[in-house]
Each structure stands twice: as structure tokens, then as C-alpha cells.
Amino acid sequence: MKLLTTPQEMQALALTWKGEGLTVGLVPTMGWFHEGHLSLMRKARAIADKVIVTLFVNPIQFAPTEDLDNYPHDLERDRSLAEAEGVDVLYAPDVDGMYPEDFKTSVRVSGLTTGLCGASRPGHFDGVTTVVAKLFNQTLPHVAVFGEKDFQQLAVIRQMVRDLDFPIEIIGHPIVREQSGLAMSSRNSYLKEDEMDAAHSLSKAIVSAKNLLKQDASHSPEQVKEEAARVIVSHPQCSIDYVEIVDRTSLQPCDRISPESMLVLAVKINQRIRLIDNSLLIT
């Protein structure tokens, strides 16, 4: 496996592969790999001739009050894990290479970015779409694999790809969970032992909401949201950022429950760890 660190060398290799008629699969990440990341790599490995994993903690998607400085990182650990999955290139550019001193461009997707995480993290998705557009141009993939845990991000990137005519297939890969039900996340490493029960409230809220609908499918979105919120706030360490039921494609609030309805959650644990989760309500 190669470790590349500059846009120029990454793009040159990607152009060589494309000239040879090879399909290129991309897995964008911010590192600190867990089983969720590794499942994305395996998916890319199964469908592409060459697999690139990017590792870049993107500063422009973090607000000043967020955890950029503390975000977990260990390049050698991640390098070893990626190599074991048969990844061809780990692309780990530095900030100066990605955003030179005279950098003045951003990519913005409107509409889909205003609610949910976009409401509580202003500017976050502008940072995401800008860096992903740059990574697409540097790696030139035929297909890119993203986890469905960041469901709003996935919808935003799909919109960007359609709007800007990127010749890339975007694949969403299911959430990978701990045995306990907790959605895997790099931020889980922040959790202390006495915060784990609170963290599990997100997956428990999803289960409880689904069970409510199994008992009576006529429940309204408001009733289902109230049940999910009840489970979460029963943990004093939890504060709700949002509990919403939205259409899986448009991200617009649902006025009734349908097979397209997603329960989406964002919760802060002790005001310092923000976790997200989601699930279709009818499965």
C-alpha cells in the first residue's frame, strides 16, 4: 500500500490508473478507523480495481467551539488497518496542501443543509462539500462509498454530485453497530465508562420508536418523536440536539409515517460529545 500526501502525486497516480482502464473506488474518512470504516473499504474493494482511502481531518467543517484539536488520530495505526484491508493508497494530505494561503473557493449545497445538523452546525456542510469536491478531483474515482450514519451528509453529497455533474457513483453503506447497538463512531473514543449507558440511549430510542409503530402503525410522527425523546431524556447526561422524522430523500419533515420515513437523532452527552444515529422506521 502506498502512502501519498500531496494532491499532485495523488492525481497523477489516479490519472495513470484511469489511463489503464482501471476502476477507482474512494472511501473518504477523517481517520481513527473502526469497523465501520473497514466495512466501507471492503465494499470499495469488492467493486473497484483500485481503492483509495483518504485520511484528512478537515478544519473548515469544524466550528471554533468544536473538537478539531482533540479529534483522535494515529496515522500508523490507521495505515496498518487500511493495508490489512487491501487498500491500494492511503492518501493523507496536510492542511497547507489542501488549503494553500490564497485559497478562496467554497462549494455550497442549499436546502438540504439548512435543517438537522446544518441548523446546529452553521457552515459545517459547506466545509464538507468543499473538501469532498477537492478529494473527488484529486482522486478521480468512478465510485465513492460513504457510511449511512452521516445520513444528511450522504444526501448532500449526492445532490452535489448530481448538480455539478461529477461522473461518480455514490454508494451508501449501512451503519455498523457495536453488539450493544451503539453506532460505531470515531467520537465514541471520547466516552467515559459512566457515559456509555447515556450513549446507548440513541439506539434504544430507535428501537422503542419502531416498537411503538409495530404496536399501532397509526401513530403520528409527533407521537413517535415523543417516544424517542422520552427514552433519551430519561438519561440525565443526555441533551437533545434534534429528534426528527424526515423523508429519506428530501430530508423534509414527514406528516405521516411511510416506508420512506427516517428517524434521525443528534444527542450531546454531558455537553461535550455529540453523537448521531438514524434508521428507517418501517423495515
Catalytic residue annotation: 37
Other CB atoms within 10 A of residue 97 CB = 15
3-class SS string, 25-39: EEEEECCCCCHHHHH
- What CA–CA distance (Å, rounded) separates 183 from 277? 7
